[in-house]
């Protein structure tokens, strides 16, 4: 009888332990489901604010290229910002990286033989990209030689205009690559 009672006590202790583990797991599942509910609500809110534009479809068919060109755009913004940031630190003018040495220039060289690199959007990209580098260099040279504020403002506007054109050209190149895939 004593052995039977000990077995029953042991079985009850095991059941109690398993019940506590189940309660702990249920608590964890409850927290996870609350997190998932929050994430799904956030995703739902984001989707509600998102609009599908059919004309954008040709720019996103190659996701790898989309991420790559967006990174190149960001790198080019950093190129400008870093050079303009040096204006306060440096006493004399310096030579900026040319259009073949920056990340975008290296990407252009690496993709120059692709079939999507044969159209007018590619030539526009090359022209505007070179112009950005030339104008950043011109701005630095003029600013360090005491250029007039009006002249510096004109050059800065040209840099921004050409940077916008570089970004637009990259978008058009992506469209050309997508159309080629289709």
Q: Residue 160's pLDDT is what? A: 95
Q: Residue 136's pLDDT is what? A: 95
Q: Any alpha helices (H) in the chain, and if so which ranges?
A: 2-49, 63-89, 103-111, 120-144, 149-181
Please give the Cα distance from 135 to 92 (Å, whole number).
17
Please give the Cα distance from 145 to 148 (Å, whole number).
9
Please give the Cα distance from 63 to 57 (Å, whole number).
11
Please give the Cα distance from 31 to 122 (Å, whole number).
52
Q: Dihedral of CA 30/34/40/41: which sign?
A: positive
pTM confidence score: 0.67
Spans of the chain below 50 pLDDT: none
pLDDT for 6-29, tens place per residue?
A: 888 888 889 989 998 888 899 899
């Amino acid at each position: 009888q004593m052995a039977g009672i000990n077995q029953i006590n042991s079985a009850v202790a095991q059941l109690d332990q398993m019940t506590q583990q189940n309660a702990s797991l249920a608590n964890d599942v409850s927290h996870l489901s609350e997190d998932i509910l929050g994430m799904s609500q956030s995703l739902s809110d984001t989707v509600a604010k998102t609009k599908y534009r059919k004309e954008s479809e040709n720019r996103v068919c190659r996701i790898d290229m989309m991420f790559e060109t967006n990174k190149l755009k960001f790198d080019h913004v950093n190129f400008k910002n870093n050079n303009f940031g040096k204006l306060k630190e440096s006493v004399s003018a310096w030579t900026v990286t040319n259009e073949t040495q920056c990340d975008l220039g290296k990407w252009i060289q690496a993709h120059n033989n692709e079939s999507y690199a044969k159209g007018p959007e590619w030539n526009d990209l090359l022209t505007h990209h070179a112009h950005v580098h030339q104008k950043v260099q011109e701005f630095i040279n003029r600013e360090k030689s005491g250029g007039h504020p009006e002249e510096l403002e004109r050059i800065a506007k040209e840099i921004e205009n050409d940077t916008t054109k570089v970004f637009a050209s990259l978008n058009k190149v992506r469209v050309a690559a997508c159309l080629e895939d289709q």
